[in-house]
Amino acid sequence: MAESAGVELSDEVAALLAEDVCYRLREATQNSSQFLKHTRRRRLTVEDFNRALRWSNVEAVCGCGSQDSLPFRPLRDSDLFFPEDREVNLLELALATNIPKGCA
């Protein structure tokens, strides 16, 4: 992201920044798992993660929530799984009136 903004980062700075990002992601994941435990569910949702981000005064992730689980298919003769792609009608999606609230 820094390079796309025209900022040159040294390897030291990039390593420190990556370490900080990993720490903050672990912290948000830990907080979201606490919300999961408090609601006595077994599946972590985007709403749990968004609550954890709001709790840390970070802008929430928009547009990533889904009630459906992804069906994974195994790759032939290996232990690799991948989600099946489904067709999405972009016209209907673009004209949908249910815009998430709180998005930047």
pLDDT digits (tens, 9 = 90+) for 45-104: 888 888 888 888 887 776 666 666 667 788 888 888 887 777 878 888 778 766 666 655
Q: What is the pLDDT of residue 84?
A: 77
Q: What is the pLDDT of residue 69?
A: 67
Q: What is the pLDDT of residue 12?
A: 93
Helix, strand or coil, per DSSP, at residue 73: strand
Closest listed residue to residue 65, CA positions, set 92, 31, 101, 41? 101
Split at pLDDT 50, 70, 90, the class of 16 is very high
**Is residue 54 within 8 Å of 35, Cβ to Cβ?**
no
Q: Which distant-in-sequence residues (6+ apart) come within 8 Å of 100 by Cβ?
A: 62, 63
Predicted confidence (pLDDT) at residue 9 exceeds the cutoff of 80: yes
Q: What is the pLDDT of residue 19?
A: 94
* Alpha-carbon torsion (72, 40, 32, 54), positive or negative: positive
Question: Can you tell me the distance from the alpha carbon of 19 to that of 22, in angstroms, rounded to the nearest whole number?
Answer: 5
Q: In the chain, what are the domains?
A: 2-64 (1.10.20.10)
pTM: 0.54
